[in-house]
Amino acid sequence: MDQPFIDKQKKVEALKSEISFLNQKIKELEAEVNSIQRQCNHQFQENAFMRKCIKCHHAESLHY
Ligand SMILES: [Zn+2]
């Protein structure tokens, strides 16, 4: 009778492990983006609020 409970628990465990896998993946991808942006010779396109590099999408706010 507690089979659905076990199923849910397993499902949650599987989801949590996928979340931590994806979080790790996100960190890797962000590190890759950061590395590309550090090497970029930025070419900014400005608007009233921010400027954004058209090559690597690095963005800076113009308001501090
Ligand atoms: Zn750039």
- List pLDDT tens digits, range 9-23: 999 999 999 999 999
Q: Ligand 1: distance of its center to the CA of 39 in Å? A: 8
pLDDT at 2 exceeding the cut of 70: no
* Higher pLDDT pick, 54 / 64: 54
62 touches 49 (CB < 8 A) = yes
CA 38 to CA 28: how far, in whole Å? 15
Q: Ligand 1: distance of its center to the CA of 21 in Å? A: 29
Q: Ligand 1: distance of its center to the CA of 22 in Å? A: 26
Q: Ligand 1: distance of its center to the CA of 52 in Å? A: 8
44 touches 61 (CB < 8 A) = no
Q: Ligand 1: distance of its center to the CA of 36 in Å? A: 8
